[in-house]
């Protein structure tokens, strides 16, 4: 057999068995470890970012965000006269502590944020939903309503209707 033919056949055989290197691209890509973050987890926001509530958060997840704000207040004003949630608790901290911890106070869900361009229309739909389910309310402004007369539904039922309408209107129909 001709030696040139043998070398040519060997080169052809080796090149057919090897894989070509993938073409280089100028697009950056992220390498993943395979772990996927859950969207329902209440991950703390990146440094400097104000946390935002989500429509699908549990009460416990929401409370963790509010607790982080309270912890910040206690750290910035250790001489506060007391600790507590809500307006009464916040009043016990210095103005300086409140200012330093303002970025820890959770923003409302984007769907219910007055900065959302669709918010006013959706709020109106929310009030319509409440009325269609037996609550007697009137819209006073986007983001606010008041009772229109005496309520005939029990408190628990009204709270359930409020949650259902918020999920239906602001949460894309998820319940």
- State the residue for tokens 């330093």: 100
**Residue 117 sits in the same domain as residue 161:** yes
How far is the C-alpha of 149 from the C-alpha of 167, rounded, in Å? 25
Phi-psi region of 34 (alpha: psi -120 to 50; beta: other; left: phi over 0): left
pLDDT at 151: 86
Bridge partners of 146, per DSSP, are 138
Domain annotation covers residue 155: yes
Last residue of a domain, one of 51, 72, 104: 104
Domain annotation covers residue 89: yes
SS3 52: strand
- The parent domain of residue 95 ranges over 59-104
Rg of the Cα atoms in the chain: 29
Q: Please say whether the dihedral angle defined by the alpha carbons of residues 68, 73, 78 and 80, taken in this order, is positive or negative.
A: negative
pLDDT truncated to tens, each residue of the chain (175 aa)? 544 444 444 444 444 444 444 444 444 444 433 333 334 444 556 667 899 999 889 999 999 999 999 999 999 998 886 555 555 554 588 899 999 999 999 999 999 999 999 999 999 999 999 999 999 999 998 899 999 988 889 999 999 999 999 999 998 544 4
- Split into its structural domains, the chain has a count of 2
How far is the C-alpha of 52 from the C-alpha of 44, rounded, in Å? 10
Last residue of a domain, one of 104, 131, 162: 104
SS3 20: coil
- State the residue for tokens 């944020």: 113
pLDDT at 134: 94
**Residue 121 sits in the same domain as residue 92:** no
**Residue 116 sits in the same domain as residue 166:** yes
Domain annotation covers residue 175: no
């Amino acid at each position: 057999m001709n030696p040139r033919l043998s070398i040519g056949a060997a080169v052809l055989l080796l090149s057919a068995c090897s894989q070509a290197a993938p073409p280089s691209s100028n697009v950056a890509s992220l390498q993943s470890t395979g772990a996927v973050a859950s969207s329902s987890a209440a991950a703390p926001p990146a440094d400097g970012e104000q946390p935002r509530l989500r429509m699908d958060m549990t009460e416990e997840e929401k409370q963790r965000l509010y607790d982080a704000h309270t912890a910040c207040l206690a750290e910035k004003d250790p001489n506060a006269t007391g600790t507590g949630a809500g307006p009464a608790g916040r009043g016990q901290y210095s103005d300086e502590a409140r200012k330093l911890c303002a970025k820890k106070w959770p923003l409302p869900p984007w769907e219910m944020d007055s900065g959302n361009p669709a918010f006013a229309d959706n709020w109106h739909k929310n009030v319509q939903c409440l009325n269609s389910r037996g609550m007697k309310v009137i819209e006073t402004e986007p983001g606010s309503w008041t009772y229109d007369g005496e309520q005939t539904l029990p408190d628990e039922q009204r709270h359930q209707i409020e949650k259902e309408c918020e999920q239906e209107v602001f949460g894309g129909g998820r319940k």
